[in-house]
Amino acid sequence: MAARIENETDLAGMRSAGKKAATVLEMIEPHVQPGVTTDDLDRICHDYIVNELQCIPAPLNYGGGGGQDPFPKSICTSVNHVVCHGIPTPSKKLKNGDVLNIDITVIDNGYHGDTSKMFFVGEPSVLAKRLSKVTQECMYRGIEAVRPGARLGDIGHAIQSHAEAQRFSVVREFCGHGIAKVFHDDPQILHYGRPGTGQVLEEGMCFTIEPMINAGKRNIKILPDQWTAVTKDHKLSAQWEHTLMVTADGSEIFTLREEEQL
């Protein structure tokens, strides 16, 4: 069963969770500075999520089993060639020129809001700015493909074709996912694919679109901590993410930030 909005209570819950998740990214931006550690950013976000928003940070102690330890922090901080699921640490100090993805998921009265954004530390390289911009465009193009009657392959194709036209590559090991009262639910939203293939989208379905785009080859590896994914060639990676719902004429994005609503 695909995650879906069943009633007005669900809709209000997802709107609230999405808005709160977006505010965390807005709140943390001024703190992304040279010399700050990723552990500092995690602590600031955790305190804001718990004390200001009265929410639960979904990543904290998520997962585990099969030899894997639960995720130990409240946010994911993926720096430079880290593709996703970077674990905040006191030893990882940000420096000028770094690029950073911060991935936030809050649980608000049982509903999940999941979103991520790229941040620049000081002045990034031309390549880093271009990769971040194209990755955000990939996400938006995927969202533009969402409407009742469209197929999951249409989303993947919109993302893949734009990324590859810019000579970037699409990570295939991770994907978007259904979300509402469950953090990771059906369907899986691949960020590559062929148009006209895959599950048909229906009004009320709720999921994330979160392309991970690499400056080099698409290949990745998982570090010994069993969470952190990095590019095999150590070239830069970028990711943007929104949570959205299929509506009668397109989609409603629950995690829009103020800067996107101009």
Q: Is the pLDDT of residue 231 over 80?
A: yes
Quote the pTM value.
0.97
Residue 5's contacts (CB-CB under 8 Å, 6 or more residues apart) are 11, 14, 180, 204, 206, 245
Strand segments, DSSP code E, in 121-255 are 169-170, 176-178, 185-189, 206-209, 212-214, 220-222, 229-231, 237-239, 242-247, 250-253
All structural domains of the chain, each given as residue ranges with its CATH number in brackets, are 8-255 (3.90.230.10)
Q: Give the strand pairing for 212-214 and 176-178.
A: unpaired
Q: Is the pLDDT of residue 262 over 70?
A: no
pLDDT of res. 2: 82
pLDDT of res. 79: 98
* pLDDT > 70 in the chain, percent: 99
Q: Is the CB of residue 76 less than 8 Å from the CB of residue 103?
A: yes
How many CA atoms within 13 Å lie on the side-chain side of 127?
Answer: 13
Q: Is the pLDDT of residue 97 over 60?
A: yes
Return d(Cα 214, Cα 237) in angstroms, integer.
Answer: 4
Token pair, residue 110, equals 């049982």
Token pair, residue 102, equals 């911060």
Q: Is the pLDDT of residue 187 over 70?
A: yes
**How far is C-alpha 236 from the chain's CA centre?**
16
Q: Is the pLDDT of residue 199 over 70?
A: yes
The mean pLDDT of 75-82, rounded to a whole number, is 98
Q: Is the pLDDT of residue 207 over 80?
A: yes
Q: Which residues of 105-137 are buried (b: 16+ CB within 10 A; e: fewer)?
A: bbbbeebbbbbbbbbbbeebeeebebbbebbbb
Select from 215, 19, 33, 191 the least CA-distant residue to 104: 19
The mean pLDDT of 82-101, rounded to a whole number, is 97
pLDDT of res. 64: 79
Q: Is the CB of residue 170 less than 8 Å from the CB of residue 160?
A: yes
Residue 234 gets the label, from left (phi > 0), alpha (psi -120 to 50) or beta, of left
pLDDT of res. 1: 66
Q: Is the pLDDT of residue 71 over 90?
A: yes
The mean pLDDT of 156-170, rounded to a whole number, is 98
The pLDDT tens digits of the residues spanning 6-48 come to: 999 999 999 999 999 999 999 999 999 999 999 999 999 999 9
Q: Is the CB of residue 158 less than 8 Å from the CB of residue 145?
A: yes
C-alpha distances (whole Å) from 208 to each of 40, 132, 152, 215 are 27, 18, 12, 22
Phi first, then psi, for residue 49 (nearest 5°) are -60, -45
* Cis peptide leading into residue 187 (ω within 30°): yes
pLDDT of res. 205: 98
pLDDT of res. 68: 86
